[in-house]
Amino acid sequence: MNEGAKDKIKNFALNLGVEDVGFGAVSAYNSPLSPKIETIFPKAKSLVVLAFRELSNCESENKRIAMGGRLDSMEFARSCIYKVSRFIEKEFDTKAMSTPLSYPLNMKPENRFGLIADFSQRHAAIAAGLGNWGRHNLVIHPRLGSRVIFSTILTELELPPDPPVTEDLCIHCNICVEICPGHALDEERKTDEFKCMKYSQPYGLGGNIKFWMKFITSSPEEQKQMMISPDYMSLYQAAFIGFEYHCFKCYLSCPVGREQNQ
């Protein structure tokens, strides 16, 4: 099959600054909760998954600096995913589609109000041989460790898949479980999303609903004060950023690949 095409795509992506690229067959994508790829792009045959190392910003106690780094990583990833998609379309005269790195999300109740994505980047990374599950329910990359985000392109092009990572990359030290301020990782293979979000997204949907619930039962004078409070302004800022993370602890604390800055 198309090994030459794979090399061309990989070299193009690596030259942009992408850390690693994995190739998987659509048939190997096995995300039990998210929709089938056929419902997104019926003729898709392959997954091209890009891996990006998170900047050291996530180590900062300053939450705006930490989140600023995530925004930079996401903006860079989104630019790369566009460039690689167009490269595939032009070079091979075929169709390619990007998938959301994070949002937009389906906010319907059956998708747990945005907690089940239309496309699962972790399952794609595993199908493309870029890593496997850690105790923190994140995908650990063999070289980059846990501190990595993923972004996937779907294409009609048939590309030979990369071999899966079969070894267990998690060292089962349990540090991520113990350090989680919300105890969201206590149960194996399940992140308690609401416990996680209480700490990781204090100005997310939960905080927003709480604010407006209080607002509607407050007096006009209290409402005026609420509108000029730091809480309202933080909600406003988080809403235009997208999702604003205040916690990176499970991600940060993982010792696997921690020394890898090259």
- Considering the complex, what minimum distance in angstroms separates the CB of residue 146 from ligand B12? 6
* Residue number, 2 or 102, with CB nearest to ligand B12: 102
Task: Please say which residue, 5 or 152, places its beta carbon nearer to ligand B12.
Answer: 152
Measured in residues, the chain has a length of: 262
Q: How far is the CB of 243 from ligand B12 (least distance, A)?
A: 7
Token pair 């005026």 is found at 224
Contacts with ligand B12, residue ranges (CB under 6 A)? 31-34, 100-102, 115-117, 119-122, 133, 136-139, 146, 148-151, 189-191, 193, 196-197, 200, 245, 247-248, 250-251
**Is 152 within 8 Å of 144 (Cβ atoms)?**
no
- Whichever of 85 and 120 has its CB closer to ligand B12, that residue is 120
CB of 3 to ligand B12, least distance (A): 27
Instruction: Tell the smallest beta-carbon distance from residue 260 to ligand B12 (Å).
Output: 13
- Three-state DSSP class for 129? coil
- What tokens does 102 get? 């994070």
Contacts of 100 (CB under 8 A, 6+ apart): 117, 118, 119
Whose CA is closest to 151, among 115, 120, 192, 108?
120
Q: How many H-runs (helices) and E-runs (strands) does the chain carry?
A: 9, 6
CB of 219 to ligand B12, least distance (A): 34
- Contact assessment for residue 134 and residue 250, using Cβ atoms and an 8 Å cutoff: no
Q: Is the peptide bond before 164 cis (omega within 30 degrees of 0)?
A: no
Nearer to ligand B12, 64 or 190 (CB): 190
Q: Which is nearer to ligand B12, 137 or 208 (CB)?
A: 137
